[in-house]
Chains A and B, each alone.
Chain A
Amino acid sequence: MVEVTRLDVVWLFAAAAALSGSNPAAAGDPGPVNTRKEPVQITEGPEVERTTDTWAIIRWTATKVGGTSLRYGVVHYGTDPHALGQTAKSPNRFNPALPSMVFRVQMNRLKPGTTYYYRVESADALDIPEGSESPVAHFTTDQSP
């Protein structure tokens, strides 16, 4: 018997509505084309802010280019530097009074004592990439306590 989880139900709704064309932010819809001329530039980092045995936080600073108030920091990662098949996204909000924007992303459900390779980028609230990606870097999670 197939177990129906809460997540399954949630994504069922998401898929149905995406097919209906009602929501540009939903999965399956490419949404509007990014016509921004000036891409975001990473000016500092990315760097590992903190690691534990099961999670880590990556942070970087980027130039502040006009866009949505809500942004997503995006980390593509994996244990093979040539196959960064996993993605972590965290919402960050734009501070209108600062000249740059710090992105922070938390990666969960990591394995202890494991080296992960990653690169970062950012996207706006509609999941449109903002224009620049970092080189691949790596970190190692802590051993289990």
Chain B
Amino acid sequence: MKRSALLSVAYAAFIVGSLLLPATGARAQNPTPVPIFPPPGFVIPPSDAACILPGNKLDLQCFIANDPDAQRIRAEEAALFAEALTAANSGTLDPFHQVETLGKLEIYDPNLSVNNNLACSYCHDPMAGFANGSSVLSIYTGGSNPGSVPITVAGAYPDNRIAKRNPQSYNYSPYFPPLQFNTTQGDFYGGNFWDARASGFRLQNSAAEQAQDPPLDTQEMANPDSACVVWKLSQSVYASFFETVWGAGSLSGITFPGNTAQLCSVPGGAVNPPAQKLPLSPTDRTHAQQAYDYFGLAIAAYEIGSEVSSFTSKFDAFLAGTVKLTAAETRGYDLFRGKANCNTCHLDGRSNTQTPGEIDTGMATNAAPMFTDFTYNNLGLPMNLTLPWYSENHPDQFGFTANPLGVGFIDFGVGLFLDGYYGSPPPNFDWIALNPFFVGKFQTSTLRNAAQMPPPTPPSTVFVKAFMHNGYLSSLKEVVHFYNTRDKFAFNVQSGHCPKGTVEKVTCWPTPEEQDNKNMTIGNLGLTNAEENDLVAFLQTLTDGFVPITPASLGKPPVMRKAALPPHSQ
């Protein structure tokens, strides 16, 4: 049989298999109460007190209206949008900064969501390294953020559509190459998203394709059609600036139907009334897709720019030879490259030492190391039962059920992408067969800005940041401790059920969500408590902003991103 015929068989089997899969899951309810782990120093903000429901659940609409971090993020968003609009209207931007500024306008524009209430930045707070910026969400929802659509069904939990994962930072994301399977290394490299599904195959730009996803995600911005986003762009205050960047007619040349506003107000996934694509002519559909590609490319331009990916950390200064690391940071760096095995995946770009005690005098192979090898790994993280996703197994007022499997859902990471969870096979059908080797794997994120956090909201003395795809870990110390002791303190229990005499996340790690392909490079590193702290000290050197952005470094007047923010957020 010819290869093409066999691939057709594989694809047909893929479709049948995809239809069969949901039937195998159990319709279970999430346990009550769900286990939470607020760290010392965290106090529930008084304005959130009424939002905490029995069983450690969070009233999301109450949170949206009252949480101080959410309010801060809204203020940042408005300030940065205004800053970008002023720049766009100045008429002084060169072409490079025009496209970057357009991306900035798009990212901070809440009107691009179905209910005109959610910008990209809501889940990607600049003050939190472009990741989740709310302590309350880190503790009560695994860092996952509520989307544009409230759920109004009486008694429903959650009472707002909410994403299934902790939002991944998009800083440095354009440096990830388009996803490819390297047949020599036997591994996937590149792509965007925790599960690689923004492969970049069409635009050859993973970050641009990543940017095209949340506006259409039913749990996030929830537009029913990419053409709706384009229509919203055409109605925006920066529509003419969009055409300055991408050409006259790139928006205004598209003829939208008279009932576009009504059709675009129905959220994605809706059954009643049904979410529909806009009835565009073939030519207008093509132009709308082009405009949506431009939308994504502009966001990628902003993300790769100096406001998001600036290479201005203390470590960058160390590589440039202008600053020395402290003793603790140096010890941490040595551990990072040695005993702790961090640079097996989070590559630091330095040359190798071959014998113990040898001094590395080499320069970084890349002057701007990414601290990732762009691959995917299963770290063996336990399920995070605080994710409201597990309770989204009931239809909302639109008849849409986000997660029919409920707590029976297993996050297979790249495995979801490869086996068609998102409604279509991967763009390269050859990749389907690789699924068994990538089940349970998630992207190795850059470590740059992992330590960046906004100031805590009093009376809390700490900001709580969620780490990993499901937000199970909520501090860098916990992250390092997990890598160090995952197998030493492994117990065959679910979160919330560690044996007496143990402490979850300290001397007990619940069973992994997925055992297949679990990376064994980590799990029993033999680090002392002091060594864990040294590693955290080193990770803090990777936060941008240590080296001021200067006119000399940019070739233009300094961009003071934080200058536009309200005083309390600086």
Contact of B184 among A9, A26, A68 (CB under 8 A): A68
B341/A95 in contact, CB under 8 A: yes
With both beta carbons as reference points, the residue of chain B lying nearest to A14 in the complex is identified as B433
Q: How far is the CA of A127 from the CA of B436 in the complex (A)?
A: 14
Q: Which residues of B contact A10 (CB under 8 A)?
A: 17, 419, 435-436, 439
Q: Shortest Cβ distance from A13 into chain B, in angstroms?
A: 5
Which of A99-145 touch B at CB < 8 Å?
99, 102-106, 108, 124-127
Q: Which residues of A contact B518 (CB under 8 A)?
A: 90-91, 106
Q: Which residues of B contact A22 (CB under 8 A)?
A: 3, 7, 430, 433
Q: Shortest Cβ distance from A1 into chain B, in angstroms?
A: 13
Q: How far is the CA of A93 from the CA of B376 in the complex (A)?
A: 11
Q: Which residues of B contact A17 (CB under 8 A)?
A: 6-7, 10, 429-430, 432-433
B185/A6 in contact, CB under 8 A: no
A92/B521 in contact, CB under 8 A: yes
Contact of B517 among A16, A18, A91, A97 (CB under 8 A): A91
Q: How far is the CA of A94 from the CA of B373 in the complex (A)?
A: 12
B433/A54 in contact, CB under 8 A: no
A69/B373 in contact, CB under 8 A: yes
Q: Shortest Cβ distance from A45 into chain B, in angstroms?
A: 13
What size tier do the contact residues of chain B reach?
A: 35 or more
B433/A26 in contact, CB under 8 A: yes
A83 contacts B by Cβ under 8 Å: no
Q: Shortest Cβ distance from B56 into chain A, in angstroms?
A: 29
Contact of A12 among B17, B184, B353, B375 (CB under 8 A): B17
For B341, B375, B378, the residue with the greatest tally of chain A CB atoms inside 10 Å of its CB is B341
B7/A25 in contact, CB under 8 A: no
A95/B344 in contact, CB under 8 A: yes
Q: Which residues of A contact B247 (CB under 8 A)?
A: none
Chain B 184-227 interface mask (CB, 8 Å, partner A; 1/0): 11110000000000000000000000000000000000000000
Q: Which residues of B contact A6 (CB under 8 A)?
A: 17, 21, 24
A25/B434 in contact, CB under 8 A: yes
Q: How far is the CA of A95 from the CA of B335 in the complex (A)?
A: 12
Q: Which residues of B contact A4 (CB under 8 A)?
A: 17, 20
Chain B 349-390 interface mask (CB, 8 Å, partner A; 1/0): 010111110001000000000000101011000000000000
Q: How far is the CA of A32 from the CA of B185 in the complex (A)?
A: 12
9 closest A-B pairs by beta carbon, nearest first, are: A125-B186, A17-B433, A9-B17, A16-B10, A93-B344, A104-B520, A97-B337, A20-B6, A90-B520
B binding-site residues for A, Cβ under 8 Å: 1, 3, 6-7, 9-10, 13-14, 16-17, 20-21, 24, 183-187, 337-338, 341, 343-345, 347, 350, 352-356, 360, 373, 375, 377-378, 419, 429-430, 432-437, 439, 487-488, 492, 515, 517-521, 523-524
Can you give 17 A-B contacts (C-beta < 8 A)? A9-B21, A12-B10, A12-B17, A13-B13, A17-B6, A18-B433, A22-B3, A22-B433, A26-B434, A52-B492, A69-B185, A93-B519, A96-B343, A97-B338, A104-B523, A106-B520, A124-B186
